[in-house]
Amino acid sequence: MSTADHLLNDQQMNEIPNAEEMIFGIVVSEWNYAITGSMLRACIDTLKAHGAKEKHIHVKHVPGSFELIFGANQFIQQEEVDAVICFGSVVRGGTPHFDYVCQGTTQGIAALNTTGNIPVIFGVLTTDTMEQAEERAGGALGNKGEECALTAIKMVNLVWNF
């Protein structure tokens, strides 16, 4: 799903909860930072546009996508956050490394979601080419960072109203 294919209409945008009291942890992979940095910037802009305070947005960097799991878990264990957003970008190469990183990262983030009370948002691009990643990080297909910010706000609201 890309943001550009699923743009929210005005009514849906008005239904996004106010994020003024929400606290977000964001873990960003340094690998392919042209991509992950673009998603990070869009995420922060979107969180702020929906009321999040800058002091309630905490960002940590990790070397690669696989390390997002540990970084997210550290936010959950050591910080008072309402949601954690993970940004990574894995581009297919000529070895099976892509498959292992994608599978491990997906399973690790899924495990954090199923074993904890803090939503962990999956913002990891797994693409065949760098061009595909660029299209999803501010190009023709929107920006996954914006989508993840909205998802985080909605998930915190779900937890608060469960």
Positions marked active-site: 97
What is the per-residue pLDDT across 49-68, written as a single tens digit (0 to 9) for each? 999 999 999 999 999 999 99
Please give the single-letter amino acid code of residue 59: V
Reported pTM: 0.92
Radius of gyration of the chain, Cα coordinates, nearest whole angstrom: 15
pLDDT for 120 equals 98
Question: Going from the N-terminus, what domains does the chain have, and what CATH number goes with each?
Answer: 36-160 (3.40.50.960)
Kindly state the tokens that stand for 56: 């309630």
Residues 91/134, Cβ–Cβ less than 8 Å: no
